[in-house]
A and B are shown apart, each in its own frame.
Chain A
Amino acid sequence: DTAVSQTPKYLVTQMGNDKSIKCEQNLGHDTMYWYKQDSKKFLKIMFSYNNKELIINETVPNRFSPKSPDKAHLNLHINSLELGDSAVYFCASSVRGPSGNNEQFFGPGTRLTVL
């Protein structure tokens, strides 16, 4: 059973298009994240939701809009795609709590290529 799943795995699209990436976790976690990994493998947090509430929103263009219909899902919608959006996008989840143990579980990634 896949703990954190993302669809699609690959996404190739033209500049200016709008696309969505879906993420689901079956771990019962209450916090989910989106990361962007660039061509140099640098991984940067974009958003985080806890129980459907936005708790982290890094400096990301407002063309990126996360949506969390329930705490098991966190989708990422991207409007007006640009060449610089090409990257691998990772979804992750964790349990938020007072223990300070915020180990994150990652999905397999979605490789987005904008032409």
Chain B
Amino acid sequence: SQQGEEDPQALSIQEGENATMNCSYKTSINNLQWYRQNSGRGLVHLILIRSNEREKHSGRLRVTLDTSKKSSSLLITASRAADTASYFCATSSNFGNEKLTFGTGTRLTIIP
């Protein structure tokens, strides 16, 4: 079974609006990461949040983590056309194992 599941599966918003994506997972984690994948490209790491952290910011990105609900959210503020991509959460459960289990992804489309 999949460790992470993103919600929604697809999201379309107007440029300038904020986009929020959610990720739920099943087992306890060491950290949770968000990646972006542009069409036809590899994944690019965006941000990592550790299990003892609740919120993290990086530029226009804001990530929250609620370990009691086993969920995370990624907020992209003031969206741009270049933010159009698929976004994946990935969880790391075994300290030192480095294995990442990816979610199902959210396809984000920014309408100019």
Contact = CB atoms under 8 A, between A and B. Distances in A.
Contacts of A96: 96, 98
B102 A108 contact: no
Given A105-B45, A106-B43, A106-B44, A100 B92 contact: yes
A109 B41 contact: yes
A64 B88 CA distance: 26
B interface, size bucket:
20 to 34
Contacts, number: 65
A7 to B, nearest CB: 14
Nearest to B33: A103
Interface string B39-76: 01111110010100000000000000000000000000
A43 B31 contact: no
Interface string B94-112: 0111111110110000000
Interface of B: 2, 30-31, 33, 35, 37, 40-45, 48, 50, 86, 88, 92, 95-102, 104-105
